[in-house]
Structure 1
Amino acid sequence: MAVVLGARVIEVVRSLAMEGIPVGLVTPTGDPARWSRCVRNVMTWDWMMPSYRHDEALADRLVAFARQQAVPPVLMYCSDQSMVFVSQHRERLAEGFRFIVPDPELVAAMEDKAQFAALAAEHSLPVPPTVVLDRSLLEPPGELLDMGMPIIIKPTARDHTWVEAVGSSTKALRIESKEELLEFWPRLSGLSKPAVAQQSIPGPETAVVSYHVYVDDKGEVAGEFTGRKIRTIPAEYGHTSSLTITDDPEVARLGREVCRALDLRGVAKLDFKYAPDGRLHLFEINARLTLWAHPGARAGVNLPALVYADLVGTPRPQPCRVRACLDWAHPKDALAARAHGVSMREWLGWLSRPGTVKGVWRWNDPGPLLGMLAVRVKSRVSGSSAEVPD
């Protein structure tokens, strides 16, 4: 069995189900995957709680479950919070589970953008010029003003304090002028953790590309593919609503170089952006499974299944040539398409093409979509909101 930790994990569940791997979930109450016929709900857990709440007591509960199984389950994590939890409690969890996780220092740096900026500088990674913002300063420092406008401000912790500061759940905020920066600056004092500012790389969201990889415990690349965003919600710095699998040798080459430089082990998603001059800039690294798992598996590289095979000691799924131009869409991409000027008729025509992967929905497993719709109806009635997955 694979026990999956995190939220909005249905695409990871689907990739494991492709290989007939039984799945247990540790997810929030309303996660769509809980309604899948492919899963067993092991435990309800809110991964959006502060990190200190994911403590030794949770690790003890999970190990107690693992010890009740015939063989040690494989542990997989699909959110920053669950990644940090597994890293911090790796010794205790190893008493009941099999898993692979990067070194603790590397996990901490990938979860915290301020630490990642220092890591990138130490290893000369191709990250845009970055300044860690001191919330105690009454005005922006000179090094930030010298960076030039526009700049992008990103939170280290994308929690309620960030939402309150920017007025939305956007992943980043674009600042166009010094005057706009001065107006926004006082709001930084309310953040739970420091934010970072980066030099803006011109170009649309479709210039954002990614490298997806599983590096085994020997440091060898066991599986990899590349991808590109099609649309996000909102249109800028939003959550991915549609994507396409690509075959980009330059992204793959640079992705391998970064992994080697960091001596990374396990799964990772590296986000880059093409600048107008053709250079690739590294934005961030997520050392965990993501929604890209299922479209990647459908394209020929099933990263979760590769990890599972290695950890249980069975032959890896036979690799095949990556099927480029395979698209994936979340149901909310209909809204994103409309915001991009795509008519409903055009969008439905694109969605109905053979091979396009429908996020959340499958005819033989309708529960996740129906559950998601029920949760959204309930959230509208109660006045809360639900996010599109990263």
Structure 2
Amino acid sequence: MALVLGARVIEVVRSLAMERIPVGVVTPTGDPARWSRYARNVLTWDWMLPAERHDEALADRLVRFARQQASPPVLMYCSDQSMVFVSQHRERLAEGFRFVVPDAALVEAMEDKARFAALAEAHALPVPPTVVLDHCQENPPDELLDLGLPLIVKPTARDRTWVTAAGSSAKAVRIETKEELLEFWPRVRCLSKPAIAQEIVPGPETAVVSYHVYVDDKGEIAGEFTGCKIRTIPVEYGHTSSLTITDDPEVTRLGREVCRALDLRGVAKIDFKLGPDGRLHLFEINARLTLWAHPGAQAGVNLPAIMYADLTGRPRPDSTRTRTHMDWVHPKDVVAARAHGISMTQWLSWMWRTRPVTGVWKWDDPGPLLGMAAVRVKGKAFRSPTPAAD
């Protein structure tokens, strides 16, 4: 069995189901995976809670569950919070589970953008010029303006304090003028952790490309693919609503270099943005499974299943790429398309031509979309907030 931790984990569940691997989930109330025919609900858990709530008591509960199984389950994590939880409680969790997680210091640096800025500088990684924002200061630091305007502000932790500060679940906030910076600064001071400011790399979200990889315990690459976004919601600094799997040799080369520089183990999604100068700029590293797992698996590189095979001593599934330029689409992409200036006719034509892998919806597993819809209807009825798409 694979036990999957995090939120919005349905694409990982379906990747594992492709290899007939039984799956349990530890997800928040309302997570689409809870209604999947391929998943068993083991525990309801809100991964957006403050980090200190993901404590030893939670690790104890999971280990008790693991010990009730015929063989130790494989533990997989799909959110920053669950990644940090597994890292911090790795010794206790190892008493019941099989899993792979990077070095603890590396996990902390990848999850915390302020630490990641220092890590990138130490390893000469190609990140845009960055300033760490001390949220205890009354006024913006002088060096912030040295980055030039406009600039973007990114949270170290995308928790509820960031959603309040940004006014949405957007991944970053664009600051155009000094007046906007002064107006936004009091909200920076209310964040749970320091934020960072970065020089903007011009270009649309479609210029964001990514390298996806699983590195085994010997440091060998066991599976890899590349991809890029098609649309996001919202249009700027939004969450992926459609994407395509690619075969980009330059992104692969640079992704491998980053893995070697950091001596990375396990799974990772490494994001770059292609600048107008033709250079790739490193944005972030997510050392966890993501929604890209399912389209990658459909393309022939099933990272969750390869990792599961290694941890259970089974033969690895074939990771030969069978299809490139394969698209994936979330139900919200119809809204994103309209925001991108694409008509319904154009969007339907694209859907017909590409026949993308569908996120959340699946004819033989309709529960996740129906459950998600029911939660949203209930949320509107009671005027309660609902999670954003990833």
The TM-score with structure 1 as length reference comes to 0.98
1:139 aligns with 2:139: yes
Residue matched to 2:265: 265
Tell me, what secondary structure is at the counterpart of 2:231? strand
The amino acid across from 2:364 in the alignment is N
Backbone CA RMSD of aligned residues: 1.0
Instruction: Tell whether 2:87 aligns with 1:87.
Output: yes
For 1:193-342, what aligned pairs fall within 5 Å after superposition?
193-342=193-342
Tell me what 1:53 maps to: 53
Question: 1:387, CA displacement in angstroms?
Answer: 3.3
Offset, 1:355: 4.1
Paired with 2:282 and 2:202, the residues of 1 have a C-alpha distance of 14
Whole-angstrom CA distance in 2 between matches of 1:226 and 1:178: 37
User: What's the offset of the Cα at 1:354?
Assistant: 5.4
Query: Which residue does the alignment assign to 2:99?
Result: 99
Q: Distance in 1 between matches of 2:330 and 2:150?
A: 31
Structure 2 CA distance for aligned equivalents of residues 22 and 111 of structure 1: 29
Of stretches 187-196 and 121-130 in structure 1, the one that deviates more from structure 2 is: 187-196
Rounded to whole Å, the distance in 1 between the matches of 2:68 and 2:290 is 28
Q: 1:176 Cα shift?
A: 1.0
Q: Could you tell which deviates more after superposition, 188-197 or 340-349?
A: 340-349
More moved, 197-206 vs 180-189: 180-189
Amino acid at match of 2:194: P
What do the CA deviations read for 1:326-353 (whole angstroms, capped 9, x no partner)?
0001000000001111111221222233
**1: distance between equivalents of 2:38 and 2:161?**
36
Q: Which amino acid aligns with 2:361?
A: W
Q: Deviations over 1:276-307 (max 9, x none)?
A: 01100001000000000000000110000000
Moved more, 380-389 or 128-137: 380-389
Query: What amino acid sits opposite 2:16 in the alignment?
Result: L
1:333-381 Cα offsets, whole Å, 9 max, x none, are: 0000011111112212222335410101111111111111111111111
For residue 15 of structure 1, what is the aligned residue in structure 2? 15
Which 5+ residue runs of structure 1 have no aligned equivalent?
A: none
Q: Closer, same or farther in 2 for the Cα pair 1:117/1:85, shift >3 Å?
A: same
SS of match in other structure, 2:189: helix
Q: Provide the secondary structure at the position in 1 that maps to 2:186.
A: helix
Between 232-241 and 184-193, the greater mean CA deviation after superposition: 184-193
Alignment-derived partner of residue 165 in structure 2: 165
Calculate the TM-score normalised by the size of structure 2. Answer: 0.98
What's the CA shift string for 1:175-221, capped at 9, x where partnerless?
A: 11222212222221111111100000000000000000000000000
| Preserved CA contact (<8 Å) 1:154 1:195 | yes
2:117 corresponds in structure 1 to 117
Give the counterpart letter for 1:83 in structure 2: M
- Structure 2 distance, partners of 1:179, 1:342, is 33
- The CA distance in 2 between the partners of 1:140 and 1:63, in whole Å, is 45
Count of aligned pairs: 390
Shift of 1:269: 0.3
Letter in 2 for 1:96: G
Distance 1:92 1:227 in 2: 36
Tell me the distance in 2 between the aligned counterparts of 1:111 and 1:382: 34
Residue type of the partner of 1:306?
A: I
Which residue does the alignment assign to 2:68? 68
**Identical counterparts, % of pairs:** 78
Name the residue aligned to 1:381: 381
1:215·1:221 contact (CA, 8 Å) conserved in 2?
yes
Q: Aligned-pair distance for 1:113?
A: 0.6
